[in-house]
Amino acid sequence: MMIIDQLYKEAIEKGPICVGLDTTLSFLPKYLVARDWSDGEKITAFNKNIIDATLDIAATYKVQIACYEALGMDGLKAYSETVKYARNKGKIVIGDVKRGDISSTGDQYAKGHFTGDFEVDIMTINAYMGEDAVSPYYPYLKENNKGIFILQRTSNPSAGDLQNLVVNGQSVYQIMGDKIEKWGKVFMGESGFSAIGAVVGLTRPEEFEAIQNQSPHTFFLVPGYGAQGGTGRDIAEILKKSRCAVVNSSRGLITAHQKAGCEDEGFAEHVRKATIAMKEDILQWL
């Protein structure tokens, strides 16, 4: 079974929830902040508690490497330990690293995130340099059961400055969608989806529906839920047609204890409740 088939299966069985472990020190409860540990150790403990509390209700975890790189070697150790912990629990982990380079540099990015200390199951990449920025990952998709999510239509406010430009009758993001479908044909799984998927934000539902119709074999990683304004209703029409996506929430979930005023060891239960509420918000429309 290919990694995309496993992710599809998890999204069906547990719900299409991706818990984003985009963890910064400001998110930690006070009891952890007070510990005589390094910052990386505190973040690792925080993440492990959240993983344990949401194992049965999350399809996957997304770990944004920038949050860890900012803390230097201590942070990168926390990234590595977080990823390993989730994978050892049998969970699919998405490394949100957004790499995008060609030739030997792309080869090293692939090796760095599909093997060794930072090994994940799926990684995000930026393919706006063309297929040369994608092809370094092909051997890992074939031989190591890995996957990639390519940035297509992102959720940030200025994305349209470039992605909505029209070239020969198509927007740039539509052209990228065609490329993703084309590149993915040789990596098709039993589920009907390719190991080459796409990142499409939830903040523009009408565009997302058009993208889905254009890309029937593409599985989507969907940011934009919660803190960025997306709701379950926004993705309802997409998931009614096909369970073709996992929806990510980061801040909206992993700061749930702060909204509840909980600063002690019970913080992860509030994250669990927020994750359940997100799952219910999405599934109620299906």
In terms of phi and psi (left: phi > 0; alpha: psi -120 to 50; beta: otherwise), the region of 217 is alpha
Q: What is the distance between the alpha carbons of residues 209 and 235, in angstroms, rounded to a whole number?
A: 9
Q: What is the distance between the alpha carbons of residues 264 and 237, in angstroms, rounded to a whole number?
A: 39
Catalytic residue among 98, 142, 146, 241: 98
Q: What is the distance between the alpha carbons of residues 180 and 30, in angstroms, rounded to a whole number?
A: 44
146 is an active site residue: no
Decide: 138 and 131 in contact? Cβ < 8 Å: no
Q: What is the distance between the alpha carbons of residues 137 and 6, in angstroms, rounded to a whole number?
A: 19
Decide: 10 and 59 in contact? Cβ < 8 Å: yes
Q: What is the distance between the alpha carbons of residues 21 and 65, in angstroms, rounded to a whole number?
A: 9
Cβ count within 10 A of residue 239: 20
Residues with active-site annotation? 98
